Amino acid sequence: MHQRFRHHLQLYMVQFVSVVLVLWSLESQAAKRRPVDRGQDAIVVVEGAAVYKFPNFDAPILEYFQNNKRVKISNKKYEGIGGLGSFYKIRIRKGLYGYITDIDVVIQPTSTSKRPAEKRPIEKEEAPADPWANAAEAGYDAPVGGEPMFYRRYVGLYGGMLNFSEKVVDRFETESVTVFGLKVTGPGALFDGPPIDFEVGVSPSAPSYYSKLTSSPVKGFFIAGHLALMLPAIEKPQWYGYYGLGVMYVYAKYTIPADSVSIDSQELRLGLSVLGGAVYQVTDRFFVRAG
């Protein structure tokens, strides 16, 4: 009996049926008073350098600058969406600012000539502190007051049903089981890089079909989750659809009473995970996700 269980107890498929989550943004929404960025001198080193409306290569282009043009850029660097590139805020003309990638400009020393540099009155920064604040007005799909939802980092708890199937004593058994767990999603969720989706969930009891094997209760649990690359399918100001591809894992441990002994069964399986779903913004910090 012991050997029979060890050889025939095999996990072969776990499929998500439905998951509903409440997520909250890790980004602080509290407004912080920032020091005035008086900027620094730089020279454009690329012919036709693009100046974007937001720190994103897909944002609308406001202007093109010629090579060797002297410009004023911010001291602060702005990280591009999903960690793609770095940008300086740049003054195009009075009252109009944009963002230029850091590889298109070279910062100039503060004193490059014996003649003192011409002093110009320092103008108060007119661009919004949040580079995405006017995205919706510009027709760019980003939520008011923050960067696009898909490129923000979230953490939350989830609950759902799994179609859990395994081979037990030469026959396949399937049951929908309840799973609760933790989900982290977005760029930099676990490490620097593109948006990913990581979750780990647990079911604290054995599926009921084990009652067919023994009259005594079967104790145990299983842990299931995945690590997947996230990609946007559709983006709107208050919601977005997504899909993803990655690796899933399942670990199951059960203690099965059999006659006068108890059989300890442990299994670890890896497989392919295909994701799809949508996220809706309820408030600035809370989101509902279904997938």
When comparing pLDDT for 42 and 155, which is higher?
A: 42
Give the confidence band of 280 by pLDDT, cuts at 50, 70, 90.
Answer: confident
Q: Would the pLDDT of 30 be above 70?
A: no
Structure tokens that stand for 157 in this block? 């708890």
Q: Which residues of 53-66 are buried (b: 16+ CB within 10 A; e: fewer)?
A: bbbbeebeebeebe
pLDDT tens across 143-171, in order? 444 556 667 778 888 888 888 777 777 77
Q: Would the pLDDT of 129 be above 80?
A: no
Per DSSP, the three-state class of 4 is helix
pTM over 0.85: no
pLDDT tens across 44-69, in order? 998 889 999 888 888 888 999 999 99
DSSP 8-state class, residue 134: T
Give the confidence band of 111 by pLDDT, cuts at 50, 70, 90.
Answer: low
Give the confidence band of 189 by pLDDT, cuts at 50, 70, 90.
Answer: confident
Q: What is the mean pLDDT of residues 242-252?
A: 91
Give the largest CA-CA distance in the chain.
Answer: 97
Q: How far apart are CA 178 and CA 241, in angstroms?
A: 25
DSSP 8-state class, residue 27: S
CB distance 198 to 229 below 8 Å: no
The CA-atom distances, in angstroms, between 108 and each of 84, 91, 97 are 25, 16, 20
Q: In what order do the strands lie in the sheet with 86-93?
A: 61-65, 49-52, 96-101, 86-93, 70-79, 40-44, 105-107
Where is average pLDDT lowest: 72-81, 135-144, 238-247? Answer: 135-144
Structure tokens that stand for 212 in this block? 């067919």
Amino acid at 84: L
Q: How far apart are CA 64 and CA 52, in angstroms?
A: 9
Q: How far apart are CA 229 and CA 190, in angstroms?
A: 12
Q: What is the pLDDT of residue 60?
A: 86
Q: How far apart are CA 5 and CA 8, in angstroms?
A: 5
What is the distance of C-alpha 197 from the center of its chain?
6
Q: Would the pLDDT of 221 be above 70?
A: yes
Give the confidence band of 202 by pLDDT, cuts at 50, 70, 90.
Answer: very high
Any residues with CB less than 8 A from the CB of 263 and at least 6 apart, and which?
1, 2, 5, 6, 255, 256, 257
Q: Would the pLDDT of 105 be above 90?
A: yes
